[in-house]
Amino acid sequence: MKEFFNELDNRVIQRGLCTACGTCAGVCPAGAIDWVELDGEPQPQLTGTCTNCGICTAVCPGADVDLPALERYVFGRVRPESIPDLGYYREARVAWSTDPAIRKQGASGGLVTALLVYALEQGLIDCALLAGFRRDEPYRTEAWLAAGKEDILAAAQSKYACVPVNTLLTRAVSKGYRRLAVVGLPCQIHGLRKLQVLGEPPLLVKSIVLMVGLFCASQFYYEGTRHMLVEHLGLMAQDEIAAMSYRGGDWPGHLVVELKDGRRLTLDRHRYMYHHLMPAYKRDRCEMCVDWSAELADISVGDYWDPQARPGKAAGTSSCLVRTAAGEAILAGALRGKYIETTALEAPRLAAGVGFELKKHAAAFRLKQRRRFGWPVPDYRRDTDHNPFTRELHLAPETKTGK
C-alpha cells in the first residue's frame, strides 16, 4: 500500500511547493503530522504512524488546485473571463468596525475582527482559527484557536510571517467546537475547499461554517523580519522583545516593537514593505500563486487604499468581496447589529493596487516561465491572463454610499 505522507513529501514538500497552510496536519485522523522549523520556516513532518488514509495528500493545495472544479463546487458555476479578474462575487463593499478601539487596532478598519466578534456573540460560531504571535516568543507567529472575544481582539492585524492556521482544525473539533470560522490566506482557503469536496473526515467538514479569506500579495520568510530587527532597528537580541506588531500605531500601521525595558522601536511601513521585506523576502511558493483576493472564500477582506486618505490622519477601512450566502449573511447580520458600517465599492478599483499586479499578472507570468523550463510548479487548471490593461479606465468613482 502506498504511504501517503511519503507521497506528499515527495510530490510537494521536497519540491518546494508546500504553502505551509497547515491543512495536512489539521486533518490527519491519526494526529501523525506536525511541524518542524528549517531555516526559521515551518515544514510538515511525519511524527507518528501514517495510516495511509490519503486525506493529507487529497486536500493539499501545494501542487494541485483545480480552480474551475472548486468554483463549481462553491458557487455552482465557473466565473466568466473578465478584466480585472477578482473571482466570483455577489457584492463589493468598503467596511469598518463601529467600535473605535477595534477599528484602530485592526490593520485596516477592523472588519474581520468585528465580524468574528459579532458571530461569536450571536452564537453563529464557537471559535475562530486565526494568526497570532507566540506567547513565549512574541516576535514569532503561530496559529491561535480563539474561543473568546479577548483572544479575537488580541489576534487583530496582519502577520507578515508564515502561520499554518489550518493545523488547528482537528484540535478545535476534539475540544468540542462544532461551528468553526477560519481566517486564512488564499492557499489556506484552497485547502479547506478541497477538504469539503473530499468530504472526509465528515465531522470536521461539517464543523467549518465560515471562511474569511484575506487578500494576499505574498507571505514572507521570517528571515526578512529578523533582518529588519537587526539592520534597521539595531536589535541584536530578539529575547529583549515584549511585543511586536507589523501594523502598529496609526493607520496604515508600521513595524512596532515593544521592548522589555519599556522602549518602543518603530520602522515606517513603506520603508520595510516596499524597500526591504516585499522585494527581498517573499516566500518562493507565493511567487507562483495566482489567487490574490481569496477567490474561494465566503467573504474576502483586504486593505482599502482610499486615494483621499492621509496616513496618520485617516482611520483605516477594509475592502470586502461578498462571495457566498454565508458571507452575505455574516456581513448583513453585523451591519444590522451595528458592529460595522459599510459603503458601496466599485470592485474593479481594487485592481489598481500592487497586490493585484503581483499575483494576477507577475505570478501568472512567472508560473508560465517556470513551467516552460520544467521547474516544479502548482497546477491551477487555468491559465490566468497576465496581459496588461489600462487600469485608469477601471478607477470609476464610488457609487452612492449607505450604511
Structure confidence by residue, pLDDT tens digits, 174-220 = 999 999 999 999 999 999 999 999 999 999 999 999 999 999 999 99
How far apart CA 16 and CA 396 sit, in angstroms, is 40
Among the listed residues 162, 182, 161, 155, the one whose alpha carbon sits nearest the alpha carbon of residue 171: 182
- The residue with greater pLDDT, 227 or 395, is 227
Count Cβ atoms below 10 Å from residue 39 Cβ, excluding itself.
8
Report DSSP letters for 163-230, one per residue.
--GGGGHHHHHHTT--SEEEEE-HHHHHHHHHHHHHT-SHHHHHHEEEEEEE--S--B-HHHHHHIII
Within-domain flag for 184: yes
Q: Which of 232, 259, 280 is the last residue of a domain?
A: 280
Strand, coil or helix: 337:
coil
Within-domain flag for 258: yes
Per-residue pLDDT of 124-156, as tens digits, reads 999 999 999 999 999 999 999 999 999 999 999
Average pLDDT over residues 262-273: 92
pTM of the prediction? 0.95
Among the listed residues 266, 265, 282, the one whose alpha carbon sits nearest the alpha carbon of residue 274: 282
Q: Which residues of 355-370 are buried (b: 16+ CB within 10 A; e: fewer)?
A: bbbbbbbbbbebbeee
pLDDT in the model for residue 400: 30
Same domain, 294 and 275: no
Same domain, 213 and 257: no
Same domain, 54 and 202: yes
Q: Is the pLDDT of residue 403 over 50?
A: no
Average pLDDT over residues 331-339: 98
CB 260 within 8 A of CB 240: yes
Q: Which of 265, 280, 295 is the last residue of a domain?
A: 280
**Strand pairing report for 127-133 and 33-38:** unpaired
Average pLDDT over residues 252-272: 94
pLDDT in the model for residue 397: 35
Strand, coil or helix: 286:
helix
Same domain, 259 and 306: no
Q: Is the pLDDT of residue 369 over 60?
A: yes
Same domain, 252 and 118: no
Q: Which of 243, 264, 280 is the last residue of a domain?
A: 280
Within-domain flag for 400: no
Q: CA separation (Å) from 12 to 43, 195, 246, 305?
A: 11, 17, 30, 36
Q: Is the pLDDT of residue 250 over 60?
A: yes
Number of folded domains that form the chain: 2
Same domain, 196 and 324: yes
Q: Is the pLDDT of residue 2 over 60?
A: no
Same domain, 214 and 231: no
Per-residue pLDDT of 102-123, as tens digits, reads 999 999 999 999 999 999 999 9
How far apart CA 132 and CA 141 sit, in angstroms, is 6
* Reported confidence tier of residue 399, pLDDT bands at 50, 70, 90: very low
pLDDT in the model for residue 19: 98
- The residue with greater pLDDT, 387 or 2, is 387
Same domain, 76 and 106: yes
The residues that bridge with 340 in the sheet, in sequence order, are: 97
Same domain, 126 and 273: no
Same domain, 46 and 173: yes
Same domain, 350 and 275: no
Q: Is the pLDDT of residue 269 over 60?
A: yes
How far apart CA 256 and CA 383 sit, in angstroms, is 40
Give me the domain span that covers residue 29. 4-220+282-372
Same domain, 122 and 235: no
Within-domain flag for 175: yes
Within-domain flag for 403: no
- Torsion angle in degrees (nearest 10) through CA of 119, 321, 24, 377: -170
